[in-house]
């Protein structure tokens, strides 16, 4: 009987401990932990760039779906003449991500994306998304739909944000 009580106390401690870790983890990664395990891992292990870190592809996909896919499409193909494709985009696949980061922070209007002039503007996201969220979206775009751009960090987004126009 006494043993049972101790056993239950131990379980209680484990549960409480586990929950507090879970709560902290949720803030960091949202559903990323579970999603990542299931997602095809396109993120880790670049041949030729062995030190490149991975990224949270599940969070990137979720944020892209919420904020970008209405215009650029779930498959990154955009809508011809109306919204530019991100699949194969020079901005998205270029190693130097400065332009990619700037477009997401500031939006874009009257530029020629891939040589095409788009009538509607791209909205700015600097006031809506954190550096970490923007990095996750950018990395998702750089590793989806056959794209293979170099990954970015939240620190790069933060630095670009500080350099504001
Ligand atoms: C309301 C529609 C809309 C939404 C939402 C939107 N975009 Fe755009 N995006 C555009 C348009 C239109 C352009 C082209 C603007 C121009 O060339 O002047 C563009 C251009 C871009 C470009 C440059 C492409 C190139 O090849 O030059 C990138 C990168 C981009 N968007 C990423 C994103 C990301 C990331 C998100 C989500 C955080 C997003 N967009 C959300 C409409 C949108």
| 81 in contact with ligand 1, CB cutoff 6 A | no
Residue with CA nearest ligand 1 atom 31: 122
Mutate to test the pocket of ligand 1, among 92, 113, 129, 140 (most ligand atoms within 8 A of CB): 113
More confident residue, 27 or 147: 147
> What CATH fold (topology level) applies to the domain 31-162?
Cytochrome Bc1 Complex; Chain D, domain 2 (1.10.760)
**Is residue 55 very low, low, confident or very high in pLDDT (cuts 50, 70, 90)?**
confident
- pLDDT digits over 60-73, tens only? 999 999 999 999 99
| 122 in contact with ligand 1, CB cutoff 6 A | yes
pLDDT given for residue 52 in this prediction = 62
CA 83 to centroid of ligand 1, rounded, Å:
7
Average pLDDT in the 79-107 region? 97
**Domains in the chain: boundaries:** 31-162
Average pLDDT in the 20-41 region? 42
- pLDDT digits over 122-155, tens only? 999 999 999 999 999 999 999 999 999 999 999 9
Percentage of the chain modeled with pLDDT above 90: 65
**Is residue 12 very low, low, confident or very high in pLDDT (cuts 50, 70, 90)?**
very low
Residue 92 pLDDT more than 90? yes
> What is the full DSSP assignment across the chain?
-HHHHHHHHHHHHHHHHHHHHHHHHHHHHTTHHHHHHHS---SS-BTTBTT-----HHHHHHHHHHHTHHHH-TTS--BTTTB---TT-HHHH-S--HHHHHHHHH-B-S-EETTEE-SSPBPP-TTTS-HHHHHHHHHHHHTSTT--PPP--HHHHHHHHHT--
CA 43 to centroid of ligand 1, rounded, Å:
23
Residue 6 pLDDT more than 80? no
């Amino acid at each position: 009987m006494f043993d049972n009580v101790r056993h239950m106390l131990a379980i209680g401690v484990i549960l409480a401990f586990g929950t507090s870790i879970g709560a902290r983890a949720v803030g960091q990664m949202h559903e990323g932990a579970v999603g990542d395990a299931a997602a095809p891992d396109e993120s880790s292990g670049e041949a030729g760039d062995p030190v490149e870190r991975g990224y949270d592809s599940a969070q990137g996909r979720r944020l892209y779906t919420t904020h970008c896919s209405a215009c650029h499409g779930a498959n990154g193909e955009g809508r011809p003449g109306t919204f530019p494709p991100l699949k194969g985009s020079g901005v998205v696949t270029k190693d130097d991500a400065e332009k990619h980061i700037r477009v997401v922070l500031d939006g874009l209007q009257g530029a020629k994306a891939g040589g095409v002039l788009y009538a509607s503007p791209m909205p700015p996201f600097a006031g809506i998304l954190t550096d970490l969220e923007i990095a996750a979206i950018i990395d998702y775009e750089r590793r989806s739909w056959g794209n293979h751009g170099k990954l970015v960090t939240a620190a790069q987004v933060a630095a670009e944000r500080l350099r504001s126009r």
